[in-house]
Amino acid sequence: DLALLEQTVADRAADLAAIIIEPITCNTGVIEPRPGYLEGLRRLCDKNGIVLIFDEVITGFRAALGGAQARYGVTPDLAVFAKAAAAGFPISIVAGRRDIMEGVTSGVLHGGTYNGLTSTVAACAATVEQLAQDGGAPLKKMEARGRDLMEGLNTLGRKHGLALHAQGIGTVFSTVFTGSPPLNDYRDYKASDETLRLEFVEELQNRDVRTTTRGTWFVSSELSDEDVRTTLEAADDALAVLASR
C-alpha cells in the first residue's frame, strides 16, 4: 500500500533512518510487489534521506542473478544475501553504496570468526559462474520448470475440487489453499487454510517431495522435466487423499 507508506513516512520521517523490506514476500505466499511499488518506495526514500534496504536472503540469486533488484530494476542502498549465493555453503553477504559500506572500515566494527572464509567465498564465486553460463540459462531453466510446476499444481487443484493456488516467480513459489486467489499481502496468506496446507505438505513428504511447512517451494538448477512429472504425480496422489477426507 504505497499511499499508506507515503502517509506513514510523512508523519514520522524525522524518526526513520531506514526502511527494510523483502522485495518479494517469500515467507508469506511468495507475493511479488505491485507495479510501481518499489519505484515509489525508492523515490520516497530519496526524497526523505532514508536508507532503503532489501532483504534478499531468499530472492538473491533466485529472482535473477542480481536478485530482485535486478529483476525489477530498483536498486536499494543496502542489501543482504545468503542461501542460494553459495549453493548450500553457509554464507551471508552485505552489499551497498560505497559511502555507507566504507563505514565498516572507518568507525563501525564488523568482526566475525568466519568473515571471508576461503571455502565459502570460493563456493559463492563458483555458484555465480554456473548461474551466469550461457547468458543466465540455468536460471531461465529453473524459472520455466518452476512455472510448469505451478501450472500443473493449479490444474490438479481444479481436478480434485480443492482451492489449491500456486503463485510465485518460478524459481521460488508457494502453494496455499484459498478461495480468493491471488494472494496480494500477508493478510491474504494468513486467511488461507493452514490445516489443508499442512496436510498437503505431509502427504507430499510421504511421497518424497519436500516443501517447507509454510508452503514454499524452491527450484534447483538440477530439476529435470522427469522430476517435474514425478512431482506432479505425487501431488495428484496427495490431493486425491485430501479430497477424499
Arithmetic mean of pLDDT over the chain: 95
pLDDT value of position 114: 83
Q: Which residues contact 26 (CB under 8 A, 6 or more apart)?
A: 58, 59, 172, 174, 216
pLDDT band at 93 (very low <50, low <70, confident <90, very high): very high
Q: Which CATH architecture has domain 135-244?
A: Alpha-Beta Complex (3.90)
pLDDT value of position 30: 98
Distance, in Å, from the CA atom of 165 to the CA atom of 145, rounded to the nearest integer, reads 17
Q: Where are the alpha helices (DSSP H) in the chain?
A: 2-12, 37-48, 67-72, 98-101, 118-131, 133-159, 186-191, 194-205, 225-244
> What average pLDDT does this structure show over 7-20?
94
> What average pLDDT does this structure show over 60-80?
97
pLDDT value of position 67: 96
Distance, in Å, from the CA atom of 23 to the CA atom of 37, rounded to the nearest integer, reads 10
> What average pLDDT does this structure show over 75-83?
96
Distance, in Å, from the CA atom of 146 to the CA atom of 231, rounded to the nearest integer, reads 11
Distance, in Å, from the CA atom of 103 to the CA atom of 233, rounded to the nearest integer, reads 53
Annotation: CATH topology of 2-131: Aspartate Aminotransferase; domain 2 (3.40.640)
Q: Are 204 and 234 in contact (CB under 8 A)?
A: yes
| Residue 10: half-sphere exposure toward Cβ, Cα within 13 Å | 6
Q: Are 160 and 243 in contact (CB under 8 A)?
A: yes
> Which pLDDT tens digit goes with each residue over 145-185?
999 999 999 999 999 999 999 999 999 999 999 999 999 99
Q: Is the pLDDT at 214 greater than 90, yes or no?
A: yes
pLDDT value of position 243: 98
For 198-216, give one letter per residue: b (16+ CB within 10 A) or e. Answer: ebbbebbeeeebebeebbb
Q: Which residue ranges make up each domain of the chain?
A: 2-131, 135-244
> What average pLDDT does this structure show over 51-65?
97
pLDDT value of position 115: 87
> Which pLDDT tens digit goes with each residue over 101-133?
998 888 787 888 888 899 999 999 999 999 999
pLDDT value of position 112: 83
